[in-house]
Amino acid sequence: MNTEKIFLALDSLHVELPSWGFANTGTRFGKFQQAGAATNTEEKFADAGQVHAFTGACPTVALHVLWDFPNGVDSIPEVNALGNKYGVRPGSINPNVFQDQIYKHGSLGNPDAAVRDAAKAHILDSVRIMTELGSRDLSLWFADGSNYPGTQNIRHRRAWFEQALKEVHSKMSGNQRMLVEYKPFEPAFYHTDIADWGMALLMARASGERAKVLVDTGHHYQAQNIEQIVAWLLSEDMLGGFHFNDRRYADDDLTMGSIDPYQVFRIFHEIMLFEFETGKRGDIAYMIDQSHNLKGKIEAMIQTVETAQELYAKAALVDHKKLLPLQTSCELVDAEGCLKDAFSTDVRPAIREWRKSKGLAENPMAAFRESGYLQRAERERGEKNMGAVASYA
């Protein structure tokens, strides 16, 4: 096992945490409250700071504008201060154009021009927020679509999207990027305006040179070859980032690698093979997008980060010099063996050594549990979180 390769890989891996992953969330059937869940932006930063402190891999927090900026742009100084207080910086900024009642028939794809303008204004406010916070990425996901054939003009909606995103893109500057996400269905089940990676690619290209595609590993049909999508986007210089989770069906928000760790390994392998062949590092943002109703929220994030580190380290062990000629000569068994050998390697001892070299706990989960942080959070937040359950009962 090449420990040096693993150390270099882990040094370079930064995984952004989602603020919403620390709060109580639910499904369309309801939600199960957790006594220690974060109830405001400060508590989200505090929880994210714990994950970073024990894993050493999560220096930034993705923020949702409506949920984390209660006073809009006036909340910017407070959010900046929280980053300094808890040792994690504001990361990608996520506008919310799906929650308000006006978005019943869509946001940028809504037939009502006033609604489209409201959605665009909110996204432009989000650009201002990211500029003042020094955040790099504007992460865009749209619930827009329709549930019944013939009820919407699909071409008109695409044109409205392109027009709005071009305008938003024109307001971005410096190293700022626009990441366009896609999702095949839910809540729109007949057609979704940005339903797959090809649509996201076309939309990003139409928006401008700062726009890239964001791949959510849960936003795919079963058996879809996500690493092939990744390889194509890398070839087109259009892969901007990931939202990591796992799925049994689609968008199940399960912890990363809990269902198919080999798929995540294969994705990392495609990225590293691209970097080996081109000699340049992919400009890719790795982010988590998970909301847990059953698992403890902080523990689920630590578990996900540990899994990401393990699978990234395994992918770093693939012998590319050996693999490439095997691919060219179609030595199928031996070529596949290059991946299988790396995936089968137990990298955990090397990761523990890497953590020791960084002054981190060798076992982040155990160290977090021993810290008593969760018990304190449950005492301090329990009444706020569980009071709603008691009143409902």
Contact 368, 50 (CB under 8 A): yes
> CA–CA separation, 311 vs 250, rounded Å?
21
Count Cα atoms within 13 angstroms, Cβ side, for 74.
2
Count of CB atoms situated within 10 Å of the CB of 163: 13
Q: What angle do CA 265, 268, 274 make, to 5 degrees?
A: 140
Contact 234, 271 (CB under 8 A): yes
| Greatest C-alpha distance within the chain | 68
Question: Where are the strands (E) in 156-237, listed by range?
Answer: 177-181, 191-192, 211-216
| Contact assessment for residue 98 and residue 64, using Cβ atoms and an 8 Å cutoff | no
Nearest alpha-carbon partner for 252 in 300, 290, 195: 290
For residue 244, the one-letter residue type is: F
Evaluate whether 104 touches 71 at the Cβ level (below 8 Å): no
Is the preceding peptide bond at 187 cis, omega within 30 degrees of 0?
A: yes
Residue tagged 């190293």 (tokens): 175
What pLDDT was estimated at residue 30?
81
Per-residue pLDDT, 27: 77
* Coil/strand/helix, residue 26: coil
Residue 393's pLDDT is what? Answer: 44
Specify whether the CB–CB gap between 295 and 245 falls below 8 A. Answer: no
Q: What residue ranges define each of the domains in the chain, with the CATH number in brackets?
A: 13-318+364-392 (3.20.20.150)
- pLDDT (0 to 100) of residue 392: 44
The set of residues, in sequence order, having a beta carbon less than 8 Å from that of 75 and lying 6+ positions away, is: 41, 68, 69
- pLDDT in 10s for each residue of the chain, 393 residues: 799 999 999 999 999 999 999 999 887 788 889 999 999 999 999 999 999 999 999 999 999 999 999 988 899 999 999 999 999 999 999 999 999 999 999 999 999 999 999 999 999 999 999 999 999 999 999 999 999 999 999 999 999 999 999 999 999 998 999 999 999 999 999 999 999 999 999 999 999 999 999 999 999 999 999 999 999 999 999 999 999 999 999 988 999 999 999 999 999 999 999 999 999 999 999 999 998 989 999 999 999 999 999 999 999 999 999 999 999 999 999 999 999 999 999 999 999 999 999 999 999 999 999 999 999 999 999 999 987 554 444
Q: Which two tokens stand for residue 219?
A: 């936003």
Q: What is the C-alpha separation between 285 and 298, in angstroms, rounded? A: 21
HEC string of 260-280 equals CHHHHHHHHHHHHHHHHHHCC
> d(Cα 214, Cα 283) in Å, to the nearest integer?
12
The answer to whether 338 and 326 are in contact (CB under 8 A) is yes
Q: Which two tokens stand for residue 166?
A: 């071009």
Sign of CA dihedral 204, 75, 173, 135: negative
Counting Cβ atoms within 10 Å, is residue 124 exposed (0-12), middle (13-18) or buried (19+)? middle
Alpha carbon of residue 2 to chain centroid:
29
Say what the pLDDT of residue 220 is: 96
What angle, 0 to 180 degrees and rounded to 10, lies between the N-to-C axes of helices 41-55 and 373-392? 140
What's the confidence (pLDDT) of residue 388?
58
Query: Which one, of 276, 284, 365, 370, lies nearest residue 315 by Cα?
Result: 276
Residues 140, 180 contacting (CB under 8 angstroms): yes
**Both tokens of residue 5?**
């390769």
What pTM did the predictor assign? 0.96
